[in-house]
DNA sequence: CGGAAACCCTAGGAATTCTCTCGGATTAAC
DNA sequence: GTTAATCCGAGAGAATTCCTAGGGTTTCCG
């Protein structure tokens, strides 16, 4: 019940690109590293799965950098987290098929699947635009509600 | 985005106690270990935080065993998972207060808090009675809905 | 062309965590 | 007092995570 720091860094990176790369649409890792106080070499590693999943596009060579491959409103936190954490399932049920002869296993499979669905439902309901405070034309209308604004004491 | 196997074993153990200990209310770890094919010594370690959190009560000495400290319908999966995984927060935000001068951090804090709330909301909506298929008097009426019966292909 | 600045790739190492084992201590039934 | 159970502390081995390091490749700019 824990998200690794790789996922957190990936989220911070994507938010930074979304927020500061909006003018030219492009930002270098070096700049992000300085502003977020993260090692450049580590960021290079964080950025790779994000590239592989097609969430970012890169401009190589001097003056290059990274750009969002899609508009920030079309990238969800779930996209980023799943890319960063790898494709491994949230929880495996000891094979998930062979050992289900026991009394209690089938209900636990349903339980874990439901948990995974609950998590996905939340993280896919928050877009990068929400997180970066980018004012977007509100086409759908359910963009920000998952953040639960005003409900908690954190605002 | 992953639950350790300690949490899974704890859940299996609690379900087993709920299901098989219902008559006398008591079952020994040895019996659980044999039926679930888990090492007894490992189960002893799994059971410890469950005791500390007051979810189980023990009867020491020969013929002893473990009993649910409360009715299965009053123990949630969240209680078990939080006890087994330790009290660590789902995700920490690099101090959660000091470094929030950055542009993007406050929104991520809200995001992580919301995720934690979503997870808690799910796991606290499923009781041990649901998981163990114990027929209980349905007082509240929202006991089993979180399992999403019939919605998925897993039944 | 050649240097500089960026992206890109592979390899690992220190630290941590996870999974599980071991040997025993304590308690209570018989 | 033997036996069967709960308890307790200390790890070992393996895996994972977090991060660093060193280079290779691409492109800009003079």
Q: What is the pLDDT of residues B98-118, one digit of tens each?
A: 344 454 456 788 898 888 889
Torsion of CA B34, B77, A111, A90, to 10 degrees: -90
Residues listed for chain B: 155
Band (pLDDT 50/70/90 cuts) for residue B150 is very low
Between helix B40-52 and helix B5-20 the angle, nearest 10°, is 80
Chain B nearest-CA distance from A143, in A, is 13
The residues facing B2 across adjacent strands are A2
- Proximity of residue B64 CB to strand C below 7 A: yes
Torsion of CA B33, B37, B40, B45, to 10 degrees: -100
Residue among A8, A12, A35 minimizing CB distance to B91? A8
| Strand D positions within 7 A of protein Cβ atoms | 3-10, 17-22, 25-29
Tell me the average pLDDT of chain A: 77
CA–CA separation, A90 vs A82, rounded Å? 10
Chain C: nucleotides under 7 Å from a protein CB? 3-11, 17-23, 26-30
Whole-number average pLDDT of chain B = 77
CB contact under 8 A, A1 and B15: no
Question: Does the pLDDT at position B4 exceed 90?
Answer: no
Residues 50-69 of chain A within 7 A of strand C, judged by CB, are 51, 58-66
* A7, burial (CB in 10 Å: exposed 0-12, middle 13-18, buried 19+): buried
Closest residue of chain A to B81, computed from CA coordinates? A1
Distance from B134 to chain A by nearest Cα, in Å? 11
A interface mutation test: which of B89, B109, B114 has the most A CBs within 10 A?
B114
Q: What is the mean pLDDT of residues A92-104?
A: 45
The encoded tokens of residue B148 equal: 């999403």
- Residue B52: which nucleotide is closest by CA–C1'? D7
Buried b (16+ CB within 10 A) or exposed e, A72-99: bbebbbbbbbbbbbeeeebbebbeeeee
Strands B56-59 vs A56-59: parallel, antiparallel or unpaired: unpaired
The predicted pLDDT at position A22 comes to: 52
* Rounded-to-integer distance, Cα B118 and Cα B115, Å: 5
A positions 81-140 inside 8 Å of B (CB): 81-82, 85, 88, 90-91, 93-94, 102-115, 117-119, 121-123, 126, 130-133
Q: Residue A69 above 90 pLDDT?
A: yes
Question: Is the pLDDT confidence value at B36 over 50?
Answer: yes
Average confidence (pLDDT) over B89-96: 48
Mean pLDDT of A41-69: 94
The pLDDT score that the predictor gives to residue B49 is: 94
- Cβ-based neighbour number of residue A145 at 10 Å: 11
Percent of chain A with pLDDT over 70: 68
The predicted model gives A49-74 an average pLDDT of 94
Q: Which of the pair, B141 or B58, is modelled with greater confidence?
A: B58
Burial per residue of A121-136, b for 16 or more beta-carbon CB atoms within 10 angstroms, e otherwise? ebbebbbbbbbbebee
Given pLDDT bands bounded at 50, 70 and 90, which one contains residue B133? confident
User: Tens digits of per-residue pLDDT, A121-141?
Assistant: 999 999 999 998 766 544 433
pLDDT at residue A1 greater than cutoff 50:
no
User: In the predicted model, what is the mean pLDDT of residues A68-72?
Assistant: 94
Q: Is the CB of B5 under 7 A from strand C?
A: yes
Say what the pLDDT of residue B132 is: 87
Distances (CA, A) of A27 to A32, A44, A95, B21, B106: 8, 13, 43, 61, 22
Residue B123 pLDDT: 93
Mean pLDDT lowest for which of A131-140, B17-26, B93-102, B121-130? B93-102
């Amino acid at each position: 019940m824990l998200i690794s720091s790789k996922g957190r860094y990936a989220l911070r990176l994507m938010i930074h690109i979304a927020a500061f790369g909006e003018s030219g649409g492009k930002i270098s890792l070096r700049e992000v590293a300085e502003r977020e106080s993260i090692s450049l070499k580590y960021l290079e590693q964080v950025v790779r799965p994000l590239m592989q999943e097609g969430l970012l596009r890169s401009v190589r060579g001097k003056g290059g950098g990274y750009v969002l491959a899609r508009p920030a409103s079309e990238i969800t936190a779930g996209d980023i987290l799943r890319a960063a954490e790898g494709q491994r399932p949230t929880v495996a049920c000891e094979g998930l098929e062979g050992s289900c002869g026991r009394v209690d296993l089938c209900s636990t499979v349903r339980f874990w699947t439901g948990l995974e669905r609950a998590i996905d439902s939340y993280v896919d309901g928050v877009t990068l635009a929400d997180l970066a405070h980018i004012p977007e034309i509100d086409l759908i209308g359910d963009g920000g509600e998952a953040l639960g604004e005003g409900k908690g004491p954190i605002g």
